[in-house]
């Protein structure tokens, strides 16, 4: 099951989720060879606000940049639609592993919004 939370009412939590997922997708994209036409590469860029997803291009706001809340919702939809499965398997990971990592970050984000952070490793 893919966990979700109110990303609009939890600015710090969604920021934490984005940072954590950015680190994961940096690793996955690196393992996949940073292919431009890859979903892993696209998520890496969106999570890190790089390339076409940069916040600003030539000093001007980039309309292609993606808010954390929108990115969270897109990611959950893609997970449920199995969009990333093939590429994950090619680098030795599974959808279940990615869901587990996502769910851990969501739990931390929810606890962060309650002003208490409980991190279990």
Query: What token pair was written down for 47?
Result: 């999570």
Query: What token pair was written down for 99?
Result: 């869901």
In this structure, are residues 2 and 76 in contact, taking their beta carbons and an 8 Å threshold?
Answer: yes
Q: How many angstroms separate the CA atoms of 59 and 57, rounded?
A: 5
pLDDT tens-place string over residues 42-68: 999 999 989 888 878 788 887 777 888
pLDDT above 70 for 4: yes
Q: How many angstroms separate the CA atoms of 16 and 38, rounded?
A: 24
Residues 5-15: what's their mean pLDDT?
87
Q: What percent of the chain has pLDDT over 70?
A: 94
Q: To the nearest whole number, what is the mean pLDDT of the chain?
A: 89
């Amino acid at each position: 099951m893919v966990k979700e939370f109110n990303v609009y009412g939890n600015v710090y939590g969604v920021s934490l989720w984005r940072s954590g997922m950015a680190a994961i997708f940096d690793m996955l994209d690196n393992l996949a060879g940073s292919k431009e036409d890859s979903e892993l590469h696209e998520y890496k860029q969106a999570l890190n606000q790089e390339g076409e997803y940069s916040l600003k291009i030539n000093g001007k706001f980039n309309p292609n940049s993606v808010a954390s809340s929108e990115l969270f919702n897109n990611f959950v939809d893609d997970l449920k639609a199995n969009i990333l499965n093939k590429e994950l398997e090619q680098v030795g990971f599974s959808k279940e592993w990615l869901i587990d990592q996502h769910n851990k970050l969501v739990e931390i984000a929810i606890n962060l919004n309650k002003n208490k952070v409980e991190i279990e490793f």
